[in-house]
Chains A and B, each alone.
Chain A
C-alpha cells in the first residue's frame, strides 16, 4: 500500500507542477487560469456527453499507452505508434471493404485480426532492424511514421476513395464490420456518442498486458532484457528475439486504435484521423509509470483534457485548445526530469531545519 502511494505521488506532483506552469502561461495570455481550468477539467464530468466522450477519447490513448509501455519494459522506445496505428487502421478498413458482404460473425474478427497483425508487422520492422543491424529503433520508428502516413494516403487517394469524394477517406466498410456503440447497452447513453466496444477491449488489453508481462515466461524474458540486457543474455535469453517480440506486441496494441476508429466510430478509413494518439501514448505510459493501471489513469486524464480543450476553445477569450498540448509537453518534461524534483525537495529540506 505504501508502495502504491509512492508510485502515485510522483506523477501527481508532475501533473500539479505542469498545471502551475500552464496556469502562469494562461495568465500571460490574459485569461483567468481558474476559469480556464474549470472549463478544461469540469466539462468531462457531465452525463452522458462529458463522460461518454471522455471514455471515447481515452480508448485510443489506452492502446497507445500500452504499446509504449511494452516497448519501455523491453528497453525500447517505440515512438512509432502513430505510424503503426495508421497502417493498422487502413488494413482494418481494407478488410472491411474487400469482404463487405460477409456476416458480422466472420467480418468483425477478420477486421480485428487485420488491425492487430498490420500493427505488429509495422512495428516488427524496426525490431528486426535493431536485432539484426543494431540500428536505433527511435530513428527507424520516426522514419516509419512518415512512410506509413505517405503509404496509406497513397492507397486511400488512388485506390480506395469513392470517385468524386472531396474528402481524403476510403469507401465505407461493410455493415458486418461495424461494432456496437455502448449506448446500445447502457441506458441513458445515446448512440450518437461514439464510445464503443473497443473501450472494453482496451480495458481487457490492460489485463492481458499485465498477465503477459508479469505472469508469463515471455514477459519475464522481455522485462529481463529491458532491465539488464547483458545479464539476460548471460542467463540464456536471446536479446534479438525479445526485441522483435516486444516490438510486435507493442505494434499490435497500437494497431487496435484502428478497431476503435474504423469499426466503432467512422466506419471507414479517414486520412489523418489520429489526433497525435501515438505521441500522447508516450505521455500516457510515462505518467502511468509503465504500469497498465497507471496507463488507464493517465489515459483518462489526457482524455479529460482533450475533451475539455474543445470547451476552452469555445468559451474562453484568449486561451485555445493548444493549452492541452502545452500541458502534455510540460508533464512529460517533468516526469522525464525526475531528478529535478529530488533536487528541489533536497533544497527545501535544507531550508527548513528541524524537519526530516
Chain B
C-alpha cells in the first residue's frame, strides 16, 4: 500500500493531470457560457501536433535553440484558437448543433495531423524527435495550476465571470441586462481553444518529445468527464483531474504490487474504467448531483 502513495506516484499523478486540468478548465469556460464542448479532444490534438511540428521546425530549420519550444507553445495556442474559432462560428453564428459540430471537429482532427505530417515530415502520422534540451517539461504544469487560481478569480470575482455564468444559465436575462450573449460565448469557446491547445502542447513537447498519431488517446474526453465530475467549478474540476490522474498513475505501478485474493494482478483495464464509471454515476445523481448550466447546448436566438 505504501508504494501506491509514493513520491513517484505523486509526480506521475501531477504529470498525467496537467493536460486534463488545462483542457477541463477550457471546457469549463465554454460550457459555463452555454456551449457544449465535446471537441476538447480535437483541440488537444491540434495543440499537440502544432507544438511538436513548430518546435521541430524552429529548432532544426531556423536554429532558434532554446526559444523554439516557446514558439511551439504559442503556435499550439494559435492552433487551438483556430479550431475553436471554426467551432464557435459554426455553433454561435450559424447555430449548428453543438454536439454534431464537436464530433465533426474531432473526426477532422483525427485526420489532419496525419495528412500534414505525411506531407511535411514524410512520415505516417508522427513528427521527428525534438532534442531533450528543447522541451518544456515544467512550464505547462505551472500554467495549469496557475490557471486554476486564475479561472476561479475570473469566474467568481470579475464582471466577465458573472456575465459568463449568467449567459450560460439565463441568456434572455443577460441579454435584457445589456450583455451580448454571442460575444461572451465566443470568448468562452476561444478560451477553451487556448487552454486545450496548451494541454495538447504539454503532451508533445512537455511529456514526450514528438507528436505521435492520436497521442491524446481520449484525454479530451477524460477532461470532459472531470469537468462534469467537478460540477463545472474550477477547484473541484482540478481535484477531479487529480483523482483521474491518480488512477492512471496507479495503473502504471499496480501490476505486481497489489494482488487479487486469487493471486492474480488487478487487470489494468478495470483501473482505466474508473473515471468513466464515476462520471456516469455522478451525472445520474447517485453521489451528490452534478447539474449542467441551464442553457447548455441551446443556441441563443435574440428576440426581435
Please report which residues of chain B, range 93-131, place their CB below 8 angstroms from some CB of chain A when the two chains form the complex: 94-97, 99-101, 103-116, 118-120, 124-125
Cα–Cα, bound, A134→B119 (Å): 46
The answer to whether B90 and A336 touch across the interface, beta carbons within 8 angstroms, is: yes
Cα–Cα, bound, A325→B116 (Å): 13
Report A-chain residues with C-beta under 8 Å of the C-beta of B285. Answer: 133, 135
Closest to B290 in A: A135
Q: Does A140 sit at the interface, judged by CB under 8 A?
A: yes
Q: Does A270 sit at the interface, judged by CB under 8 A?
A: no
Q: Does B228 sit at the interface, judged by CB under 8 A?
A: yes
Q: Give B262-278 as 1s and 0s: 1 = Cβ < 8 Å from A's Cβ atoms.
A: 00000101101100110
The answer to whether A154 and B105 touch across the interface, beta carbons within 8 angstroms, is: no
Q: Of A144, A154, A282, A323, which one neighbours B269 at CB under 8 angstroms?
A: A154
The answer to whether A329 and B99 touch across the interface, beta carbons within 8 angstroms, is: no
Q: Does A8 sit at the interface, judged by CB under 8 A?
A: no
Closest to B97 in A: A336
How far in angstroms is the closest Cβ of chain A from B87?
9
Report B-chain residues with C-beta under 8 Å of the C-beta of A28. Answer: 119
Cα–Cα, bound, A28→B107 (Å): 20
Report B-chain residues with C-beta under 8 Å of the C-beta of A139. Answer: 224-225, 228, 279, 283
The answer to whether A143 and B279 touch across the interface, beta carbons within 8 angstroms, is: yes
The answer to whether A329 and B111 touch across the interface, beta carbons within 8 angstroms, is: yes
Report B-chain residues with C-beta under 8 Å of the C-beta of A339. Answer: 94-96
Report B-chain residues with C-beta under 8 Å of the C-beta of A132. Answer: 284
Q: Give A317-356 as 1s and 0s: 1 = Cβ < 8 Å from B's Cβ atoms.
A: 0111011111011101101111110010000000000000
Q: Does A136 sit at the interface, judged by CB under 8 A?
A: yes
Closest to A332 in B: B104
The answer to whether A142 and B224 touch across the interface, beta carbons within 8 angstroms, is: yes
Report B-chain residues with C-beta under 8 Å of the C-beta of A319. Answer: 115, 118-119
Cα–Cα, bound, A133→B36 (Å): 20
Interface centre among B90, B96, B228 (most CB of A within 10 A): B96
Given contacts A324-B111, A328-B107, A333-B105, contact A143 B280 (CB under 8 A): yes
Report B-chain residues with C-beta under 8 Å of the C-beta of A147. Answer: 273, 276-277
Closest to B110 in A: A325
Q: Give A248-286 as 1s and 0s: 1 = Cβ < 8 Å from B's Cβ atoms.
A: 000000000000000000000000000010011011001
Q: Of B38, B86, B284, which one neighbours A129 at CB under 8 angstroms?
A: B284
Please report which residues of chain B, range 64-111, place their CB below 8 angstroms from some CB of chain A when the two chains form the complex: 86, 90, 94-97, 99-101, 103-111
The answer to whether B38 and A330 touch across the interface, beta carbons within 8 angstroms, is: no
The answer to whether B110 and A129 touch across the interface, beta carbons within 8 angstroms, is: no
Q: Does A150 sit at the interface, judged by CB under 8 A?
A: yes
Report B-chain residues with C-beta under 8 Å of the C-beta of A77. Answer: 99-100
Report A-chain residues with C-beta under 8 Å of the C-beta of B95. Answer: 339
The answer to whether B100 and A286 touch across the interface, beta carbons within 8 angstroms, is: yes
Q: Does A315 sit at the interface, judged by CB under 8 A?
A: no
Q: Does A200 sit at the interface, judged by CB under 8 A?
A: no
Given contacts A139-B279, A139-B283, contact A320 B267 (CB under 8 A): no
Closest to A286 in B: B100
Chain B interface residue number, banded: 35 or more
Interface centre among B109, B112, B120 (most CB of A within 10 A): B112
Chain A interface residue number, banded: 35 or more
The answer to whether A143 and B225 touch across the interface, beta carbons within 8 angstroms, is: yes
How far in angstroms is the closest Cβ of chain A from B214?
11
Report B-chain residues with C-beta under 8 Å of the C-beta of A43. Answer: none
The answer to whether B267 and A337 touch across the interface, beta carbons within 8 angstroms, is: no
How far in angstroms is the closest Cβ of chain B from A139?
6
The answer to whether A333 and B218 touch across the interface, beta carbons within 8 angstroms, is: no
Q: Of A282, A322, A338, which one neighbours B118 at CB under 8 angstroms?
A: A322
Q: Does B137 sit at the interface, judged by CB under 8 A?
A: no
Please report which residues of chain A, range 282-333, place their CB below 8 angstroms from some CB of chain B when the two chains form the complex: 282-283, 286, 318-320, 322-326, 328-330, 332-333
Report A-chain residues with C-beta under 8 Å of the C-beta of B120. Answer: 29
Q: Does A25 sit at the interface, judged by CB under 8 A?
A: yes
Closest to B104 in A: A332
Please report which residues of chain A, range 118-134, place their CB below 8 angstroms from some CB of chain B when the two chains form the complex: 129, 132-133
Closest to A341 in B: B94
Interface of A is mostly: helix
The answer to whether B280 and A322 touch across the interface, beta carbons within 8 angstroms, is: no
Cα–Cα, bound, A318→B111 (Å): 14
Report A-chain residues with C-beta under 8 Å of the C-beta of B110. Answer: 276, 322, 325, 329
The answer to whether A343 and B94 touch across the interface, beta carbons within 8 angstroms, is: yes
Q: Does A47 sit at the interface, judged by CB under 8 A?
A: no
Q: Does B186 sit at the interface, judged by CB under 8 A?
A: no
Report B-chain residues with C-beta under 8 Å of the C-beta of A323. Answer: 111, 115
How far in angstroms is the closest Cβ of chain B from A150?
4
The answer to whether B108 and A326 touch across the interface, beta carbons within 8 angstroms, is: yes
Report B-chain residues with C-beta under 8 Å of the C-beta of A330. Answer: 104, 108
Interface centre among A138, A144, A329 (most CB of B within 10 A): A329
The answer to whether A30 and B119 touch across the interface, beta carbons within 8 angstroms, is: yes
How far in angstroms is the closest Cβ of chain A from B247?
12
Q: Give A133-172 as 1s and 0s: 1 = Cβ < 8 Å from B's Cβ atoms.
A: 1011011101110110011011001100000000000000
List 4 tightest A-B contacts by C-beta distance, closest first: A329-B108, A325-B111, A29-B119, A322-B114
Which residues in A have some Cβ–Cβ distance to B below 8 Å? 25, 28-31, 77, 79, 129, 132-133, 135-136, 138-140, 142-144, 146-147, 150-151, 153-154, 157-158, 276, 279-280, 282-283, 286, 318-320, 322-326, 328-330, 332-333, 335-340, 343
Which residues in B have some Cβ–Cβ distance to A below 8 Å? 36, 38, 86, 90, 94-97, 99-101, 103-116, 118-120, 124-125, 218, 221, 224-225, 228, 267, 269-270, 272-273, 276-277, 279-280, 283-285, 292
Query: Please, could you name 17 A-B residue pairs with CB atoms under 8 Å apart, sorted by A?
Result: A31-B119, A77-B99, A135-B284, A142-B38, A142-B224, A143-B277, A147-B273, A276-B110, A279-B107, A318-B118, A319-B119, A323-B111, A325-B108, A326-B115, A328-B107, A336-B97, A339-B94
